A and B are shown apart, each in its own frame.
Chain A
Amino acid sequence: EPEVTQTPSHQVTQMGQEVILRCVPISNHLYFYWYRQILGQKVEFLVSFYNNEISEKSEIFDDQFSVERPDGSNFTLKIRSTKLEDSAMYFCASRLGPTNGYTFGSGTRLTVV
């Protein structure tokens, strides 16, 4: 069964540093998403991406965040200058179309120290 792949599984970074979280969605999927889950809290939507542009973003997704699909396979989330409160599990998801189910990756645990 095809999977959404996320790398790295765990990243530790210093406050103020830039991080890039990487995702390889399922190859024929067209819609891509990032979610995050702060420890002990619910999974929260960050951003959706379709047709090479952001289609929706939450208030969490401020100017410090950006997404990119640099080639035909990768989908990245960049945090420009990390803060302690960015520490969370970040999940990538993709789906074939707007009425299909979402497939989630196994997540990247980001720890900002």
Chain B
Amino acid sequence: AQRVTQPEKLLSVFKGAPVELKCNYSYSGSPELFWYVQYSRQRLQLLLRHISRESIKGFTADLNKGETSFHLKKPFAQEEDSAMYYCALSAQGAQKLVFGQGTRLTINP
């Protein structure tokens, strides 16, 4: 069975400080990992997927298979980054996404 763990329900940092949102997963095969963001009262939006290796809005995430992690990082947080962030996994050949519980990120001015 696949599982995604986001250990922090809440994370608060000051504007300009580095941000790291943790995500660990449990899956024996080759996963596809995603980060989704949900701004206040808006839809879930894809932020990153590990296979594309893009940097969106200054965020990056690296898949570490040894540590089974896919942490989301940004060197300098901005106030507009305040949102709910979800890490999700798709198993090889599977249709569904398995989500973590989410981390509410608050950027303080």
Which chain A residues have a beta carbon within 8 Å of chain B's beta carbons? Answer: 3-4, 31, 33, 35, 41-45, 48, 50, 55-56, 58, 91, 98, 101-107
Interface of A is mostly: strand
Determine which of A45, A101, A105 lies in contact with B96 in the assembled complex, contact meaning CB atoms within 8 Å: A45
Evaluate contact between A104 and B86: CB separation under 8 angstroms. no
27 examples of A-B residue contacts, CB within 8 angstroms: A3-B43, A4-B43, A33-B96, A41-B101, A42-B86, A42-B100, A42-B102, A43-B86, A43-B88, A44-B99, A45-B96, A45-B97, A48-B95, A55-B95, A56-B96, A91-B43, A91-B44, A98-B95, A101-B46, A103-B46, A104-B36, A104-B43, A104-B44, A104-B45, A105-B43, A106-B43, A107-B43
A42: chain B residues at CB < 8 Å are 86, 99-102
Which chain B residues have a beta carbon within 8 Å of chain A's beta carbons? Answer: 34, 36, 42-46, 49, 86, 88, 94-102
A98 to chain B, nearest CB (A): 7
Evaluate contact between A56 and B101: CB separation under 8 angstroms. no
Evaluate contact between A101 and B49: CB separation under 8 angstroms. yes
A33 to chain B, nearest CB (A): 7
A107: chain B residues at CB < 8 Å are 43
What is the CA–CA distance of A56 and B95 in the complex, to the nearest angstrom? Answer: 7
